[in-house]
Each structure stands twice: as C-alpha cells, then as structure tokens.
Amino acid sequence: MATTVEKIAPVVLARGPESLWRQALGAFLKQRSAIIGVCMLVFLILIALLAPLIAPYNPVQVLIGVEDVQKRQPPCIHLLGCAVDKPQHIMGTDGNVRDEFSRIIYGARVSLYIGFVTVGVAILIGILLGSIAGYAGGRLDNLIMRTLDVLLAFPSLLLAIAIVSVLGPGLINSMLAIAIVSIPAYARVMRASVLSAKEEEYIQAARVTGVSPFWILFRHIMPNAISPLIVQGTLGIGTAILDTAALSFLGLGAQPPTPEWGSMLSAERNQVFTAPFLVFFPGLAIMLNVLSFNLIGDGLRDALDPRLRK
C-alpha cells in the first residue's frame, strides 16, 4: 500500500497545472464551516455504521420486566450523579419504555438512508427528464417543463402530503413523495446545462462524426452539469431529511417501531411539558444531520463556482 502511494505521489506532483477538481478541493478545504460539516457527517456515518457497538440496548426492545425502569424516565447518567444501582439511560426512556439513546443512535441509519436514497432517486429522474427536455427541445421540452412548473406551483410539503395520501403512509412512500417534489430542481439544472452545451462546437463536431446522443450526453454534457448537480444534491439531502421527518411527524412517514427521529418526536409531542428530553434529543439529532449537509453544500457551492472563488 505504502509503496503505491510513494510511486503515485511524484507523478501527481509533476503533473503541472492543477486540474479544476483539485483546485476545487483546495478551495473547499480552505473553508472552516465546510470542514466542520464534513467532520459532523463523518461522525454521523460512523455512528450509523457502528450503531450495534455504540447502542447499549436494542432500539426496539421494550424494557418492562427486563430492568427496573418506568416509562418516560428522565435521563440517568452515572457520571453525573445518578444512583449507580439504577440502570443508566443517557437520554432517558420513551413512552414504550425503550432506551431513547439507542433509538437515537439507530435513527442515524434511517436518517442517512432517507437522505441519500431520496436525493439519489430525484437526481436520476431529474437528469433523465432534464436531458430529454434540453436535448429534444420543442414540444417535448415544453410539455416536460410546464408539467414540472405545475409541481412547483404547490408548496412542496403540501404536495408531498397529498402524494403520500394517494400512495398510503409509510417510510418508502414518503421518501418517494419527497423525491417527486424535488425532481423539478434537478431537471432544471440539467436542462440548463444541456441547453448551454448543445450549441457548442465540440458537441456539433461530435454529432457530425456520428456519436450517439446518449454518449454525447454522458461523455460531453454531464461533466459540465455535474458540479451544479452536486451542490444542489448536497443541499437537497438536508431538505429531504427535514421534509421526511416532517411527514413522519404528521404520522405519514416511518411507522412504529422504526427508530426514525421525526416519528419518535411525534410520538412524544404531547408529553413535551412532562418529558421534554424525548422531544429535545430527536429534534437536535435531525438538526445536526441537516446542518452537516447544509455546511458541506455551501462549501461545495463556493468551491465549485469559480466566480465565487476568492
């Protein structure tokens, strides 16, 4: 391993002018807030991967009869003076006598899964629709873009609620709903890139030499569209997590006993005056997760847009 690195390093250094991506990476790493975002995200991913090692309890295990705890018991931390003979629950127990801390830990998995899958689906469909619209032009372009305009005429959360009511509640359906309402943003970015590249001479040249439209799109246009899509996508993950949590809060998303932060918060929302910690921790977790993607997204935007680079 070490030898490979040693072999490659001088080659990279000797390469002369920096590639755009290396410059962007340099610009990205200069931003303190972006670094904080990356650290937070790495931390969250580690928590999600190592959940079984970190969580002291099974997230869906009801602890009645297992140990001496009540439902909605406030946090008990031995280090902070909680009696040692009592079982330790860092974030207390929830209304079904489950360990809140373990549920929060496992919730990181659900939340990251929601963010990546939802945005992944939306980007794929957005790229497809945007490139068809941009490449075909004319009537098809008009049809696709006007349909997407109608989607944008509805406040996104309300439209998502309506779609879930058609599909039926559940985590997958709510993710699908959020994906559908976020398609227009990606389709527009992709279409704009296709339109601006379509008339370039190198694309014309490729066409004349008989390159297939698919290959032109994939090999020549995509590289130009990729950086705005990455920025939009990273910021979109934050929004997707937030909106899916909102659907779960309304009872339309993840169903019990899935340890999803939005539905955990929702289940205890009427107990906010008696057990505020059961509302505080899931919300804080959602916020930190969304914040990490927003910080990274902002950093990427500044790094990938040469006009903003100072």
Q: Give the nearest distance from C-beta 57 to other proteins in angstroms.
A: 24
Taking CB under 8 A as the rule, does residue 115 contact other proteins? no
Taking CB under 8 A as the rule, does residue 49 contact other proteins? no
Q: Rule CB under 8 A: which of 1-40 touch other proteins?
A: 33
Nearer to other proteins by C-beta: 26 or 168?
Answer: 168
DSSP letters, the chain, are: -HHHHHHHHHHHHTT-SPPHHHHHHHHHHT-HHHHHHHHHHHHHHHHHHTHHHH-SS-TT---TTTSS--TTPPPB-GGGT--TTSPPBTT-B-TTS-BHHHHHHHHHHHHHHHHHHHHHHHHHHHHHHHHHHHHH-HHHHHHHHHHHHHHHTS-HHHHHHHHHHHH-SSHHHHHHHHHHHHHHHHHHHHHHHHHHHHTSHHHHHHHHTT--HHHIIIIIIHHHHHHHHHHHHHHHHHHHHHHHHHHHHTTSSSPTTS--HHHHHHHTGGGTTT-THHHHHHHHHHHHHHHHHHHHHHHHHHHH-TTT--
Taking CB under 8 A as the rule, does residue 45 contact other proteins? no
Taking CB under 8 A as the rule, does residue 236 contact other proteins? no
Taking CB under 8 A as the rule, does residue 149 contact other proteins? yes
Q: Which stretch binds other proteins (CB under 8 A): 44-52, 120-128, 225-233, 248-256?
A: 248-256
Chosen residue from 190, 294, 300, 303 binding other proteins by CB under 8 A: 294
Q: Give the nearest distance from C-beta 289 to other proteins in angstroms.
A: 8
Chosen residue from 154, 198, 207, 226 binding other proteins by CB under 8 A: 154
Site string for other proteins, 164-193 (x = CB under 8 A): -xx-x-------------------------
Where along the sequence are the contacts to other proteins (CB under 8 A)? 33, 146-147, 149-150, 153-158, 161-162, 165-166, 168, 238, 242, 245-246, 249-251, 262, 265-266, 269, 272-273, 276, 279-280, 282-284, 286-288, 290-291, 294-295, 298
